[in-house]
Every structure is written in C-alpha cells, then in structure tokens.
C-alpha cells in the first residue's frame, strides 16, 4: 500500500523531470504501481479509509510523483458517494480544449504540495485527452469541469510543471474576473 511518505514533496527536483513515453507491454512493476495508485486515490477519498490509513485526499496522481519518470497517470473521480470512475492513461496528450477557462475557487491542491496555496490556476473547462490503456489500446476521454482540471494537472506533472507555477506570487488572484470559478 502506498503511504503519504511515498509521494514526492514539491522540493524534490525529480518532480521537474519531463517523463518519458512508456512502451507496451507495460512492465509488471508499472502495472503494480498503477494498481497501488488506484488503491491510494480511491481509499484517500473514502473518509473512514483516509482516516484509518492517514491518507491525504486526492483524485489524481502521475507516476513521477512516485519518482517514476514515465508518462502514465491515474485519476479516480468520485461521481457519487463512494462511487468512482477510474481513468488510467499512458502517454496522454490533450488533443483539443475549450476556449472557456475555469479555476477551482477553493484553490487547486496536490499530493506533492503539503501546504495551503492561495491563488488561481486558469484551466480549460473542457478537454479531450488521447492516450493508451494499460494494454496499449488507444483511448480517448472527453472531460469537463473538475475532471478536465485533474487531467490538465496530472499531464502538467508529466511535463515537469507544478500547479504553483501558474500562480502570480505578487497577485495570486490576478485575472480571476476573466475565468469562471467552480
């Protein structure tokens, strides 16, 4: 089982690496890591398990956050009380996006950032992501609102970008009137 200590902290320089595409078939190690990521993200969003195992709640994780510079991510999106849609995408790319931009009103968070961060992170309201499942089959996901934000956030990780990079330290809420809060 993954623990909070297994997730790299924002000060770790490995988070700035640009991850490399994976090849198929995936290694047994990568498949095991993906299973552990799904387990962590699911359990972290179920309050009694999150408390029992002392997990920080999160809905997405990129392999690089575990120190693995490979292009795969997992998003576990709660669609109803303890009911989840799980997305596992290898070599993901955003192939289209809306012109409308949104931001998380309460502020974006990250399992690698162990502090409150004030400010807005403008994101596309809708994105289409293409990539591959764990068997190497091409997949496409259309995402909107918070799911679209999660995909953009995790793909940024694969490119060595942190959400904090988007926030203007001198004016953290700059241009907030130009985007829709969710």
Residues designated as active site: 154
**Paired sense of beta strands 72-80 and 83-97, if any:** antiparallel
Tokens (6 digits) for 124? 């596309």
Contact at 8 Å (CB) between 7 and 65?
Answer: yes
Contact at 8 Å (CB) between 135 and 60?
Answer: no
CA dihedral of residues 33, 35, 41, 42 (deg, nearest 10): -170
Tokens (6 digits) for 36? 């552990």
Tell me how far apart the alpha carbons of residues 102 and 135 are, in angstroms, rounded to a whole number: 33
Burial code (b: 16+ CB inside 10 Å, e: under 16) for 86-122 equals ebbbbbbebeebeeebbbbeeebbbbbbeeebebbbe
């Amino acid at each position: 089982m993954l623990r909070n200590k297994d997730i790299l902290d924002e000060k770790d320089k490995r988070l700035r690496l640009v991850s490399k595409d994976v090849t198929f078939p995936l290694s047994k190690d990568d498949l095991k890591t993906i299973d552990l990521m799904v387990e962590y993200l699911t359990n972290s969003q179920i309050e009694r398990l999150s408390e029992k195992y002392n997990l920080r709640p999160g809905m997405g994780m990129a392999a690089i956050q575990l120190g693995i510079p490979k292009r795969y991510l997992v998003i576990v999106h709660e669609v109803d009380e303890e009911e989840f849609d799980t997305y596992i995408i290898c070599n993901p790319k955003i192939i289209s996006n809306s012109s409308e931009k949104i931001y998380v009103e309460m502020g974006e968070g990250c399992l690698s950032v162990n502090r409150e961060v004030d400010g807005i992170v403008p994101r596309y309201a809708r994105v289409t992501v293409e990539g591959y499942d764990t068997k190497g089959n091409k997949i496409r996901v259309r995402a909107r609102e918070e799911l679209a934000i999660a995909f953009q956030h995790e793909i940024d990780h694969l490119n060595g970008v942190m959400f904090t990079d988007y926030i203007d330290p001198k004016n953290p809420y700059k241009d907030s009137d130009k985007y829709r809060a969710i």
